[in-house]
Amino acid sequence: MAPQFDRYISTIWVALLVVWLIGALATKRTARRQTTSSRLIEAAACGLACALLAGTHPGLGVLNAPFVREAATVSWVGLALTIVGALFAVWARFYLGGNWSLTVTVKEGHTLIRGGPYAVVRHPIYSGLSLAVLGTALTVGEFRGLVAVGLVVFGLLHKSLVEERLMREEFGAEYERYCRDVKALIPFVW
């Protein structure tokens, strides 16, 4: 990855982390949360993905091989996907408001959000983060980036399934209608 793209991508991810940390200060109290073992699966998958995308890793052999030819156009497309994905996730995070949590939870006074990005997909934060990681992987241009995408998708898919179960328990038929009306992660597809 060219140094300027490395700086751009790093800045986006640091800004996203800052938004998440600040947003964590304004959430409702937790009523129920996912199990620790479930959280560990997501954390391990996403943590390993971050490690693969950050910096260089000379000991990874074939994972350091390029999967796409290095070109400015590819890097710009990757950067654009990272920006769009991050912005979509941030929009969803703010739209969710006090219902948000880093882990899957049901908050006290939890409400089912169906507007804004939640009218596009049921898990827009996960969709946005997946798109941002895909963009970052494209900018990195090495197979380790594709492995990172797979790990993130696995971790967030797991998290979405846990969240679906809790939302069905909390909102029943209302959530079932929402599931029929709005796709989970990819608009109009899935």
Answer whether residue 5 shows pLDDT above 90. no
In three-state secondary structure terms, 66 is strand
User: Is the separation of the CB atoms in 88 and 130 below 8 Å?
Assistant: no
In the chain, pLDDT over 90 holds for what percent of residues?
A: 74
Give residue 24's pLDDT band: very low, low, confident or very high (50, 70, 90): confident
- Give the model confidence (pLDDT) of 96-154 as tens digits: 999 998 889 999 999 999 999 999 999 999 999 999 999 999 999 999 999 999 999 99
CATH architecture of the domain 3-181 equals Up-down Bundle (1.20)
Give residue 2's pLDDT band: very low, low, confident or very high (50, 70, 90): low
Output the pLDDT for position 61: 87
User: Is the separation of the CB atoms in 105 and 33 below 8 Å?
Assistant: yes
Question: What count of other Cβ atoms lies within 10 Å of the Cβ of residue 27?
Answer: 16
Tell me the mean pLDDT in the region 85-90: 98
